[in-house]
C-alpha cells in the first residue's frame, strides 16, 4: 500500500517521442512544445496519462480489520471510526456496555490487589495492621455519561423517591463531595428563606402603614 500510495496515488503523465526532451520542465503553467515526429517513417509523438491507482482496496481491508477488532474485543466502533455526529448519552451507554462490563470485571480482579497494597502502605505510614478486607478501592465510573444525561438520571432518581445524597452516591461522588454539596444546598435554602422573610416583613410593614 505504501508503494502504491507513493508512486500511483496521483495521475502520471507520459511522453513517447524520439525528440529531445531535455529542455522540458515539469512545472505549473509550463507549455511543452513537442514535435510530432522527426522523420516521416518514425512513430509519431504520443502524450498520455496513467490514471491514479484505486487505494480503496487497501482502505477497505483496513476497515474490515478494524471492524473485526471491534467485534472480537467488544470495543465500540466509534473508537475506530469518526462519527458524523455526537451520539446521545443513552446511545453512548448502550454502545459502551460490553466495554464497561470488561472494565468492571478488571476492577473486580484488581480490587484485592489494591487492597493489599493499601494495607501495606498504611502499615508503613504507621496506622497499624489494617486488614485488606477493611479497605475498599474506589474506582472512577467506567461509563461515559454526558453531563446532560447525568443530570436527567439524577432528576429521575430524586423523583422516584431517592434522597439527593443517595443519588449523588450512585453517581460515584465521594463522601466529602456529597457533604459539601449538601452543606451548600442547606446554605442556599437558608439564604432563600432569609430573603423571603425579609420581603414578607417589608410587605407587612407597608400594609400596616397604609392602614394607619
Q: Looking at the structure, tell me whether residues 81 and 93 fall in a common domain.
A: no
* Residue 43 shares a structural domain with residue 97: no
Residues near 37 by beta carbon (within 8 Å), at least 6 away in sequence: 17, 18, 43, 44, 45
The count of domains in the chain is: 4
Q: Which cell numbers hold the place of 140?
A: 472512577
pLDDT tens by residue, 129-178: 889 999 988 888 787 777 777 788 888 888 888 888 888 888 878 788 88
Residue 162 and residue 188 share a domain: yes
CA angle centred on 185, ends 182 and 191, rounded to 5°: 145
Last residue of a domain, one of 85, 103, 125: 85
- Flag the least confident range among 63-67, 71-75, 92-96, 105-109: 92-96
The reply to whether 151 and 195 lie within a common domain is yes
Based on the fold, state whether residues 92 and 80 are members of the same structural domain.
Answer: no
**Triad 166, 100, 110: Cα angle to 5°:** 85
Distance in angstroms (rounded) separating the CA atoms of residues 32 and 172: 72
Whether 140 and 118 map to the same domain: the answer is yes
Nearest CA to 66 out of 47, 54, 81, 84 is that of 81
Q: Which structural domain range is residue 206 located in?
A: 146-211
Q: Which of 32-36, 50-54, 127-131, 207-211 has the highest mean pLDDT?
A: 127-131
Q: What is the pLDDT of residues 43-78, one digit of tens each?
A: 778 888 888 888 788 888 888 888 888 888 888 877
For residues 32-63, b (16+ Cβ closer than 10 Å) or e, as one string? Answer: eeeeeeeeeeeeebeeeeeeebeeeeeeeeee
Cell of 162: 431517592
C-alpha cell at 64: 474490515
Domain end (from 116, 145, 174): 145
Query: Do 120 and 136 form a contact (C-beta atoms < 8 A)?
Result: no
The separation between the first and the last C-alpha atoms of the chain, rounded to the nearest angstrom, is 96
In angstroms, the CA 86 to CA 28 distance is 42
105-114, 115-124, 127-136: the lowest-pLDDT one = 127-136
pLDDT at 26 over 80: no
- If asked whether residues 137 and 156 sit together in one domain, one would say no
C-alpha cell, 77: 466502533
Question: Both 203 and 150 in a single domain?
Answer: yes
Amino acid at each position: 500500500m505504501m508503494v502504491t500510495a507513493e508512486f500511483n496515488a496521483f495521475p502520471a503523465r507520459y511522453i513517447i517521442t524520439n525528440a529531445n526532451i531535455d529542455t522540458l520542465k515539469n512545472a505549473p503553467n509550463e507549455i511543452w512544445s513537442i514535435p510530432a515526429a522527426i522523420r516521416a517513417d518514425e512513430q509519431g509523438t504520443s502524450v498520455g496519462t496513467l490514471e491514479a491507482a484505486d487505494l480503496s482496496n487497501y482502505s477497505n481491508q483496513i476497515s474490515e480489520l478494524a471492524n473485526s477488532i471491534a467485534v472480537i474485543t467488544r470495543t465500540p466502533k466509534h473508537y475506530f471510526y469518526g462519527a458524523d455526529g455526537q451520539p446521545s448519552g443513552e446511545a453512548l451507554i448502550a454502545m459502551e456496555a460490553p466495554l464497561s462490563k470488561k472494565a468492571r470485571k478488571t476492577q473486580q480482579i484488581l480490587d484485592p490487589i489494591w487492597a493489599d497494597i493499601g494495607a501495606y502502605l498504611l502499615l508503613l505510614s504507621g496506622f497499624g495492621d489494617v486488614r485488606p478486607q477493611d479497605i475498599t478501592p474506589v474506582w472512577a465510573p467506567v461509563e461515559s455519561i454526558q453531563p446532560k444525561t447525568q443530570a436527567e438520571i439524577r432528576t429521575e432518581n430524586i423523583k422516584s423517591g431517592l434522597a439527593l445524597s443517595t443519588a449523588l452516591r450512585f453517581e460515584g461522588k465521594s463522601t466529602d463531595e456529597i457533604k459539601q454539596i449538601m452543606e451548600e444546598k442547606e446554605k442556599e435554602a437558608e439564604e432563600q428563606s432569609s430573603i423571603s422573610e425579609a420581603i414578607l416583613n417589608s410587605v407587612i410593614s407597608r400594609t400596616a402603614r397604609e392602614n394607619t
